[in-house]
Amino acid sequence: MIRIPLFICLAFSIFQQAFSQGMQKTNYTYLALGDSYTIGHSLPIAENFPNQTVQLLSTAGYDIDSPTVVAKTGWTCEELQWGMKNRSLQNRYDIVSLLIGVNDQYRGGKIEDYGIQFEELVKQAVELANKNPAHVFVLSIPDWGATPFAEGQDCKLIAKELDSFNHINKALAKKMNVNYIDITPGSREVSQDHTLVAADGLHPSAKEYKRWAEKLAASIRQQFQ
């Protein structure tokens, strides 16, 4: 009988275990695409939802890098596309989130144009997520019409228009098999709870971002189990 040395058996066992687990990564990269909601306008960087998501995942035992953020206050879909073209990005990320559209609505943009541009952004997000739709996470557009900033405006019309924009991004997310996280209903609670809005009366507070981060982190964990 041929006896195989113990160290060879152990090495083979370790290799087999790693192979069966698909050589699971020990650290993850995260790209966050969007506008002022992604930046966390008027708040410290650590309190925006991408960074709070990373904090939650780290607490859960995931080794995850600080998020790479491509976003700017006031950006529309078209401007986000421009920003991505003019930014040196990695070839792939393990996680990509996308929240965009409020400024398209605010500036009176056509919903048809939004649909075309948003679909292109989702395609780009999937490409950056190593062509894996399961690793792309679309967040719905919050309702700024519920904030103190919108006082005196037609808040019902704002809500109606944002619902139409969100109907488009939800349908496209489903069509392209990416994850969809609906944060809009919770954003409307700010009309009754002003602790959910930042000092500027428009953008979310750290408390509200935490609620988004909890939903996003839970969805990410589900995909990476």
User: In which domain, by residue range, is 111 found?
Assistant: 25-223
Q: Give percent above pLDDT 70 in the chain.
A: 88
Q: State mean pLDDT over 167-183.
A: 98
Q: State mean pLDDT over 78-103.
A: 97
Q: What's the chain's average pLDDT?
A: 91
Whether residue 114 lies inside any domain: the answer is yes
Whether residue 97 lies inside any domain: the answer is yes
Whether residue 8 lies inside any domain: the answer is no
Q: State mean pLDDT over 99-108.
A: 98
Determine the pLDDT at residue 5. 54
Whether residue 142 lies inside any domain: the answer is yes
**What total of structural domains would you count in the chain?**
1
Q: State mean pLDDT over 36-65.
A: 97
Residue 28 DSSP code = B
Dihedral sign computed on CA atoms, order 78, 83, 88, 90: negative
Which residues, 6+ apart, have CB-to-CB distance to 97 below 8 Å?
30, 31, 32, 33, 34, 38, 50, 53, 136, 137, 138, 139, 216
Cβ-contact 216, 138 below 8 angstroms: no
Weakest mean pLDDT among 11-20, 39-48, 96-105: 11-20
Whether residue 172 lies inside any domain: the answer is yes
Which residues, 6+ apart, have CB-to-CB distance to 218 below 8 Å?
none
Confidence of residue 9 (pLDDT cuts 50, 70, 90): very low
Which residues, 6+ apart, have CB-to-CB distance to 154 below 8 Å?
none
Question: What distance separates the 2 farthest-apart alpha carbons in the chain?
Answer: 89
Residue 64: name the closest of 173, 182, 213 by CA.
213
Determine the pLDDT at residue 184. 98
Whether residue 15 lies inside any domain: the answer is no
Determine the pLDDT at residue 72. 98
Q: Where are the alpha helices (DSSP H) in 21-154?
A: 36-39, 49-59, 77-85, 102-106, 111-128
Q: Which CATH number is 99's domain given? A: 3.40.50.1110
pTM: 0.89
Whether residue 32 lies inside any domain: the answer is yes
Q: Residue 181: beta bridge partners?
A: 139
- pLDDT tens digits, 13-36: 443 443 333 335 569 999 999 999
- pLDDT tens digits, 134-154: 999 999 999 999 999 999 999
Confidence of residue 225 (pLDDT cuts 50, 70, 90): confident
Determine the pLDDT at residue 123. 98
Q: Give percent above pLDDT 90 in the chain.
A: 88
Whether residue 9 lies inside any domain: the answer is no
